[in-house]
Structure 1
């Protein structure tokens, strides 16, 4: 048996191991959401959906630090790398504390804005924000250095602790569900820090980073922050707007729809994690980068088509199995939401590809269409079906333009 296990380890590459791990983590996160949907009524689940959406928003915001760390972990080495990492950690802590304090101070206003049952859940969540930014920089190091087993461990620890603690607290104690969920999220950030090297924060022999490098870091940070903002808008604004414009029961129904429809995006994220350091390394070595883009776009397209076909063929069965009969009224919209998410997932690969190459026009395009999607939902929200239709329009247009930009850039390279 030992010989068989060792043989399998040798056959599975670190990238394949990471993909398997990400699928397991996404499965665990999905199970976490599904169990909450089963345990809570639609109105209560809408509160949980706000917290989960805040977690996604936080992950996108902190992703700026993770991607900057990942990219320059590939480019910098030795003492310069250590100096850079120490500086990034300190900046991340400052930003995390500022955002966390803002969330805590605005907790009452957030409760009113999103029609939640409690403001305490925002206070608890705000306390965890600095930890998440530390965790993201730590992950950026692993991502850039391709220490994929350590990277997998941080995601697994975060997912498992949140799943077990939250569900355990809800089942064992009679505590307000939204606060319990926030506590589970906070504690999961602590587990997600593992493994962590504290010496990277307090590195003393700091080298001054050259002006050219500082400019490159600043430019990449700004454009990445802008793109992550567009990710927040595209991926989360619909749930928050629905929570604002619709009654809690309808918002809870929509949250279940969004959770199922977004599975393609969650699966696609593992390819994004592998794409950036790979493209940066290929560019550094002067090698062709387009084939890696084609490879990952092909994977995501195949996954998307499979999920959409399943949503068209068995919508009521999928919703009934995952969330129960209380949510089956969303069945007709399931494939439509999956279509919108699929278009976004594929567009996302193009944007991160160009972000890795320091080409920012596709990133700006994503920002424009993120605002378009939010604007369309703000204007057209007579019912949940109309909300989904607005997202399909915005995402199909975004994908068409991203593909067009890629084709034009490839033609220019051939003619150069």
Structure 2
């Protein structure tokens, strides 16, 4: 029996191990949020949700550096690669320090804008921002080189340390404060840096020839624009609800968003595998569409299953995950999951074209990200209307992304003689 178990483990590919790791990380992050929701209750959880949303915004901003590093770690080699990675680390550190200082300086204004109980939570969060950018470049190297074991360790370390430290501080000192949550997030960034290869960092002047620099710059701008649309689509609703509604309703909505976004977080593991695979196939002149079809099929199937479960068992899902205090959101659960599911599928198309360096799908996502935000700004009489506006925007986005792919695929495929 032991021999059979060992042989089975040997058959598991690094990609499959990484997928299992991402599922575990997402599960741990969900557990972290669910425990906070139960411990704090709707009103106090609204403050925690703002910090969690800031963390998601930071992850999308830093993802620009991670994806750029991942793509060109596949394309560049030897000295060019070393110089490139060193330069990305420098730029990431500069951007991280600038953003961190900005958050610290604007802490009081952020407190007023989002109706939070403390400004200190933003100050503590700002201190950790440079660390997160360094962590993302480190992950980009692992992702591009398909070193999925090391990549898994960084994600596991960040998740486990945040879960253990935050809950440990809450239970040991009986402090249910957003400041404690911010401290847990800050310390988790340190653990997320492990394993960290210091040999990639050099403060000497690095040189990359102009053609390669232009290639990197163009992809960086394109990726940064797309990650901005991700920030808008994924997080603007929670921040706008926190601004327009009272703390109780904002806390209820935060629980709804957390449950409904399960499919999106699952989709991330496919995005992490998609980008280096598509870049490598394209580099070798091979067909890339089958990879897209495979991952779209996975996400569409998962999304459909989650929407169906949320539609049939909404009260059960909310009671099990958050408790009876959040049951008012049960009728909206499947609707929010539907909006998120459509976005997750359209996201796969966008990242596929991003991997190929194509612009139009990324611009389309930006347009509909702004549309979603504007719809919520103008139509927010109640939480149901907020969710309905997102369904409209995401349905249109998915239809147009599929239409663009069909058109592009028919144009680019070789014609039979």
TM-score by structure 1 length? 0.98
Question: Deviation digits for residues 376-398 of structure 1, max 9, x if unmatched?
Answer: 00000000000000000000000
Partner of 1:360: 359
Quote how far apart the aligned CAs of 1:79 are: 1.1
Partner of 2:146: 146
Q: How many angstroms apart in 1 are the aligned matches of 2:73 and 2:280?
A: 10
Partner of 2:41: 41
Partner of 1:94: 94
Which segments of 5 or more consecutive residues in structure 1 lack a partner in the other structure? Answer: none
2:408 is the alignment partner of 1:409: yes
Q: How many angstroms apart in 2 are the aligned matches of 1:327 and 1:369?
A: 30
Question: Deviation digits for residues 170-223 of structure 1, max 9, x if unmatched?
Answer: 11113351000000000000000000011211275x652111111110000001
Partner of 1:331: 330
Partner of 2:256: 257
Total equivalences in the alignment: 415
Which segments of 5 or more consecutive residues in structure 2 lack a partner in the other structure? Answer: none
Question: Deviation digits for residues 329-359 of structure 1, max 9, x if unmatched?
Answer: 1000000000000000000000000000010
Partner of 1:221: 220
Question: Deviation digits for residues 93-115 of structure 1, max 9, x if unmatched?
Answer: 00000000000000000000000
Q: After the TM superposition, which residues 17-416 of structure 1 pair with which residues of structure 2 at under 5 Å, given as runs?
A: 17-202=17-202, 204=204, 208-414=207-413
Structure 2 counterpart SS, 1:40: helix
Question: Deviation digits for residues 356-385 of structure 1, max 9, x if unmatched?
Answer: 001010000000000000000000000000
Partner of 1:10: 10
Identify the range of structure 1 (254-263 vs 76-85) with the bigger mean alpha-carbon deviation. Answer: 76-85
Structure 1 counterpart SS, 2:381: coil
Q: How many angstroms apart in 2 are the aligned matches of 1:174 and 1:119?
A: 20
Q: How many angstroms apart in 2 are the aligned matches of 1:81 and 1:415?
A: 34
TM-score by structure 2 length? 0.98
Question: Deviation digits for residues 214-265 of structure 1, max 9, x if unmatched?
Answer: 1110000001000000000000000000000000000000000000000000
Quote how far apart the aligned CAs of 1:8 are: 2.6
Runs of 4+ aligned structure 1 residues displaced above 4 Å come to none
